[in-house]
Chains A and B, each alone.
Chain A
Amino acid sequence: MMRTADALTVERLSAGYPGRPVIRDLVLPPLPGGAVTALVGPNAAGKSTLLKAFAGLVKAAGRVTFGDHDLLRLPLAARADLIGFMPQSLPQGVALSVLESVIAAFEASRPGALAGADAARRAITTLDRLGIADLALDTLDRLSGGQRQLVSLAQALVREPRLLLLDEPTSALDLRHQVTVMEAVRALAAEGRIVVVVLHDLNLAARWADRVVVLDHGRAVAVGTPAQALTSATLADVWGVAARITLGPNGVPHVVVEGALDAPPVPAAAPGVPPENSTAA
């Protein structure tokens, strides 16, 4: 069973690309284990960069503690044992089967940790857990968009990380697959993991996340339950839209955007800020 006591704490975190800082002095209240935290915000707000800073994929300074670990000072391989990162997309044209890709994700930086047969068994167990064991022998390239996302999730999950970072796992998915992925994400959090997920769709965040962090220009503008963080005022300030928030019967807020405000606060592509999809290769 997971340890539930560990929380993720962010203190004065700065992160970004050479010559292009994206996040400056970010402070977040501790993100608890067993909960799903959604990172939302407009394009170039720093959502993906924050996730990548946790995962060690971009240069970062400050302090990110997870249990007893100072994440930013852990070597890559040690960090990889704690963290599962799911990038926005899988590359095309890869001649690997689904199962092989998950085994490779397990073996990558610690070959020989398990005998080959055990690693394969562990990989298929992960696929089984996500309900996609039937895809195990399919080639990655033949999968549909939703299947690809689930396989990508399996790759992030095979080492049983205690901290799961998902970069827009539902982008380009139809409604049914969005639900499938988010249900899987909830179940993973329920086992004590910390799950941090970047989402564009505010209603998806409101429906599935326990906590929402609204980022804008690399700063946390609002943090709290979906109902606390997603208010008309925040939406007007951050996205520049007029929005009505209604509460559903179960207390889940629902965002209805009525239109753009006359003066949007900042153009989407501010100079010096990398586009949302830029990768730190």
Chain B
Amino acid sequence: MCQDCGCGDPNLVPIEVQHRILERNDQTAIHNREHFSADSILCINLMGSPGAGKTAVLEATARAAGNPRAFAALAGDLATENDADRLRAAGIRSRAITTGQACHLDAELVHRSLHGFDLDDVECLFIENVGNLVCPAVYDLGQAANVVALSVTEGEDKPLKYPTMFQKADLVLLTKTDLLPHLPHIRVTKIYDALARVMPDPQVFTIAAINDSGMTQWLRWLEQRRAKLASSAPATHHHHEHAHAR
């Protein structure tokens, strides 16, 4: 209680902090990033709505690249291993992360899933996030880049409705463009305009996974990002302070 004037008020001590609430997640994400960097693995956090075509893009990527051994994937979903099964069938070694009710992946879930996952010869690890345009954008997983799949069927103004997701994107893959002839009300220029109002320097590739269209540009982008990673990678493996239990 207040000792000064006898007013009976409690003694309040204000503590000013600037504490990032998700600091623990961010620390784990840094740790994941160090792993990827030390192993020269480009890690891509692939996000988008349910049904945006994330898995189809990865299947087409494996087909187009011709060496699926260079790819691995963690597939996040609330339930089922269907996406991981599809990716395995496409030749990409994959693990499912089933989150139960959780609407996003976090760095710890990714870290746990990496234990015992054979990443030998892998050049690019895709984390196919839970289909959701809100929550996954909040959590750093340790990725080198965020890629958002946006299908033309989702409407022209999706980026304006979900600005956080697109603001965090390094690249947008505009998917299902083969359907455009059936969507006379969708103007691709309007989608580009919406992206420019939520992304400062929007980079967009158009893709039709069904006929592998747009894959060359996408594969080149992945190569360039991986080369950039290699030039900034630390020379030695980082020090581990925790046991990597399975």
A and B form one complex: no
